[in-house]
Structure 1
Amino acid sequence: MRTLRRAVLLAVPALCALASCGIPTTGVVQAGGPASGVVPTIRVYFVADDTLVAVPRRTVAPVDVQSAVEVLLEGPTEAERVKRMTTLLSLPGLLPTAVPAAPATDGAVPVPQEVRTADLVKVTVTDDRVSIELTAAMGDVVGLAADQLICTALGAQRVADPGTEPLPVTVTGPRGRRIEGTGTSCSDG
């Protein structure tokens, strides 16, 4: 018991010396903005060598199918194109670039119109299904082009609501052709 007391009596001054080792106190140190949490990452799907390729993209919260499809419709970046990634989706100019308006008949200079996602697709999420309806500007999609939309939608659902099974995805072309998505062709990257 005497040894224990002696050890404690020696340890207390040693701890005090360590605690006050000569480092001056500082006030609040300004080091940038407040922490803002994790930036969500989604996967959009492009095509390389006739295969779907999942590409991670940072996006703003909240993540949903609509925002994921918007990111997909921006197309591959220059770095991704160098890696031979492409999209099979028929995009009238890559979003958010401007496309020329119809020529004016009175000789006026046409004003460019911005292509918006709503001009290309309509995304609807219900209790039992995700529907992606393509406008005439997008045309019909089949095969890997449809899979790009389906896999991107399924991936967004997994990020938005982890732990739940994603809803089935249906892509409907402007002439009514429907493609049901199961996600079997989706890769994880």
Structure 2
Amino acid sequence: MRHAPGQAPGRLRTALLVPAALLLSGCGIPSTGVVESGEPATGAQSPALVYFVRDGALVPVPRTSAKRFDLSTAMALLLKGPDPVERKEGLSTLIPPMKADPKVGVEGAKVSVVFYPGSRPLKGAGLQQLICTVAHARQVEDPGIGLVSVTVTGSLGGSGTWRAEGSTKTCAVASSPADAALQAQRP
């Protein structure tokens, strides 16, 4: 059967009209305008590390915070110690309970931690916990800062002072925010 020029058979016409109708009608979702849904995005925060101990070895534990992670947040998390789940996994802290929180000062890439009078000197893995947690927190605060040095001092209560130093170089694992991101992604 022949059709007049310009006329297509019924099936062909239907086959051509359906896609055209779909294209012209869109997907059927009405426009809604601007929808308010909370605060604007602020970007991904680098995970911060708090260092604990397992079998005498330093273990970096990724932490996130609802607020901006800074040195005071890092110190609070460190002094609080591992949570119950982490304790079941064998993590502990070698930093003894304290009568008062140490004072933390910052000058560029140098961090000072001053313990209250009468505090016992930190040694070994306990000292490394403090140095690495504080140094890493400083790097999270200022990602371009590079090497961070930490000086820890305390008064022995009339019989002298004690002092220890360290840096991100002495933190064998995850000494930068980029390393922390990799550590946080591991199971």
Assess same fold via TM > 0.5: yes
Corresponding letter in the other structure for 2:173: S
Q: Rg: which structure is higher?
A: 2
Name the SS of the counterpart of 1:162 in structure 2: coil
Q: 2:25 aligns with which of 16, 20, 23?
A: 20
Contact 1:120 1:137 in 2 (8 A): no
Confirm whether residue 154 of structure 1 aligns to residue 135 of structure 2: yes
How many residues get paired?
A: 153
Deviations 1:27-86 (A, max 9, x none): 269685334433552100000010000001112443322221122111100010001100
Confirm whether residue 134 of structure 1 aligns to residue 115 of structure 2: yes
Tell me the equivalent position of 2:105.
124
Tell me the equivalent position of 2:165.
180
Gaps of 5+ in 2: 1-17, 175-182
Contact 2:109 2:147 in 1 (8 A): no
Confirm whether residue 50 of structure 1 aligns to residue 53 of structure 2: no
Tell me the equivalent position of 2:12.
none
Tell me the equivalent position of 1:166.
147
CA change 1:16–1:81 in 2 (3 A) is: same
Backbone CA RMSD of aligned residues: 2.9
Contact 2:47 2:62 in 1 (8 A): yes
CA distance in 2, matches of 1:45, 1:174: 24
CA change 1:64–1:24 in 2 (3 A) is: closer
- Give the superposition deviation at 1:21: 3.7
CA distance in 2, matches of 1:125, 1:22: 57
Q: TM-score, normalised by structure 2?
A: 0.69
Tell me the equivalent position of 1:34.
39
Which structure shows the higher helix fraction? 2
Tell me the equivalent position of 1:91.
97
Name the SS of the counterpart of 1:120 in structure 2: coil
Gaps of 5+ in 1: 1-12, 93-114
